[in-house]
Amino acid sequence: MKAGHGKVVRVHYRLTGDDGTLLDSSEGQEPLTYLHGYDGLLPGLERGLEGMEAGQRARVDLLAADAYGPHDPEAVIRAARDQFPEDLVLTPGLEVSARSDEGTMTFRVVEVSEGGAVLDGNHPLAGQNLHFDVNVVEVREATAEEIAHGHVHGVHDHEH
Ligand code: ZN
């Protein structure tokens, strides 16, 4: 069976950057499971998996623009120490959320100084070209309920 619209696909992947750095991997975990054609994956990665069958491997290369977009320098901001809760220990990599009129935004702490911190609101993979090595484990028909919900069932319990 080929991966395509309305199929549930289980796939192991390794994600590397341009310099070969490992960014993410399903190794040692359950394979990534998604419902094809329902916005469960990066569109470019889904296109790369289209038509693949269990046992097949492929390399899918995505430009940053087709992945998480360019890194937006305007989303990098400096925040004073008194803008954070007093008991919060600021460390690089920590995720903090900030509420504004436009909703809640998540920032990553990238730099900490006496006076405060530099925060980056970009997706951690923004600005990076992504290289996926994929290995399709299984392709099956989705159930009518999965199609109705637009996501896969039976992997993790979830609320409806
Ligand atoms: Zn559901």
Do 11 and 63 share a domain, yes or no? yes
Do 39 and 87 share a domain, yes or no? no
Identify the H or E element spanning 155: none
Residue 89 located in a structural domain: yes
Q: What is the pLDDT of residue 157?
A: 61
Do 18 and 62 share a domain, yes or no? yes
Q: Ligand 1 is a single-atom ion; what residues have CB below 5 A from it?
A: 149
Q: Taking a C-beta distance cutoff of 8 angstroms, is the pair 137, 33 a contact?
A: no
Q: Taking a C-beta distance cutoff of 8 angstroms, is the pair 12, 33 a contact?
A: no
Amino acid identity at 130: L
Range of the domain at 53: 7-68+125-149
Do 14 and 54 share a domain, yes or no? yes
Q: What is the pLDDT of residue 159?
A: 66
Do 55 and 85 share a domain, yes or no? no
CA dihedral (51, 32, 156, 8) in degrees, to 10, reads 0
CATH code for position 63:
3.10.50.40
Do 59 and 96 share a domain, yes or no? no
Domain count, the chain: 2
Q: Which of 36, 49, 29, 31 is nearest to 152 (CA)?
A: 36
Q: What is the pLDDT of residue 10?
A: 97
Residue 12 located in a structural domain: yes
Q: What is the pLDDT of residue 8?
A: 97
Residue 156 located in a structural domain: no
Residue 115 located in a structural domain: yes
Do 40 and 80 share a domain, yes or no? no
Residue 157 located in a structural domain: no
Alpha helices in the chain (DSSP H): 43-49, 144-149
d(CA 74, CA 157): 38
The parts of the chain modelled with pLDDT lower than 70 are: 155-160
Chain segment 92-138, per-residue pLDDT in tens: 999 998 887 888 889 999 999 989 999 999 999 999 999 999 999 99
Amino acid identity at 54: A
Distance 157 CA to ligand 1 centre (A): 9
Q: What is the pLDDT of residue 154?
A: 82
Do 25 and 59 share a domain, yes or no? yes
Please say whether the dihedral angle defined by the alpha carbons of residues 65, 71, 74 and 77, taken in this order, is positive or negative.
positive
Q: What is the pLDDT of residue 155?
A: 60
Distance 153 CA to ligand 1 centre (A): 6
Distance 150 CA to ligand 1 centre (A): 7
Residue 102 contacts by C-beta under 8 Å, 6 or more apart in sequence?
A: none
